[in-house]
Amino acid sequence: MFEIGDQFEEGDQDEKEKTNVMIKPFFLGQTEITQSQWKRVMGSNPSRFKGDNNPVEKISIYEVMQFIDRLNKRYQGKTVFRLPTEAEWEYACREGGKKRRFCHVKNTAGQAEIHYGKHKTAPVASYPPNALGLYDMSGNVWEWTCSEYSKFLNGKEEKCSKNLIKNNTVRGGSWGSKQRGVRASNRNVIFGGYGPADADSNRGFRLTRD
């Protein structure tokens, strides 16, 4: 169990309603899904900033779910991989729910330690990992979660939404974010439906499995 939400009294209103969350065991990818991995499953590369080891971006949540569906079909159709819930994402970012401002062990964040305030993505694992061995959870690309965004932490962050297209929460900030945007508790949402408006070079994802 851990307390999700702003631990430093410096966040936005949607981080303030701290609540205790019970986390079941899960595995989380060490890095974001790369362009090389995306191409092996989808046969294309929509990314703006090309590089096999860079995170795939310019992908909508709809395309992410297509990727996961195709990947799981390689495992006899079982639901093996999925997006993390928002609570799982923050728990992992904060090294098992510890009091952490950022996702890289420290409570300070220099640009030599986290990829933010830049002009494009960087290859995954270019910066030191957190204590759980997870890379880039702060910065590089915003990461899709399977949880529906709410203006308050109210339990939706603990589960996957049935509506995986409309308003999923994204976490972690991106290459273009300011330092405030790459905090562990910072939350954001992309509203919209299908189409290019849902896909830009700031967003990618990593996978979870139970």
What was the pLDDT predicted at 165?
Answer: 63
Percent of residues, the chain, with pLDDT higher than 90: 83
Return phi, psi of residue 138, to 5°: -105, 125
What was the pLDDT predicted at 195?
Answer: 45
What was the pLDDT predicted at 3?
Answer: 96
- Mean of the pLDDT values across residues 121-127? 98
For residue 167, name the pLDDT band (cuts at 50, 70, 90): confident
Alpha carbons 169 and 102: distance in angstroms, whole number: 18
Question: Is residue 124 over pLDDT 60?
Answer: yes
Question: Is residue 80 over pLDDT 80?
Answer: yes
Question: Is residue 196 over pLDDT 60?
Answer: no
| Cβ contacts of 122-130, under 8 Å, gap ≥ 24 | 122/54, 122/175, 123/51, 123/53, 123/54, 124/31, 124/32, 124/34, 124/53, 124/54, 124/55, 125/30, 125/31, 128/104, 129/30, 129/104, 130/93, 130/95, 130/100, 130/103, 130/104, 130/105
What was the pLDDT predicted at 162?
Answer: 80
| Cβ contacts of 123-128, under 8 Å, gap ≥ 24 | 123/51, 123/53, 123/54, 124/31, 124/32, 124/34, 124/53, 124/54, 124/55, 125/30, 125/31, 128/104
Longest dimension (CA), the chain: 46
Highest mean pLDDT among 76-80, 90-94, 101-105: 90-94
Dihedral over Cα of 123, 129, 134, 138: its sign: negative
Give the chain's mean pLDDT: 92
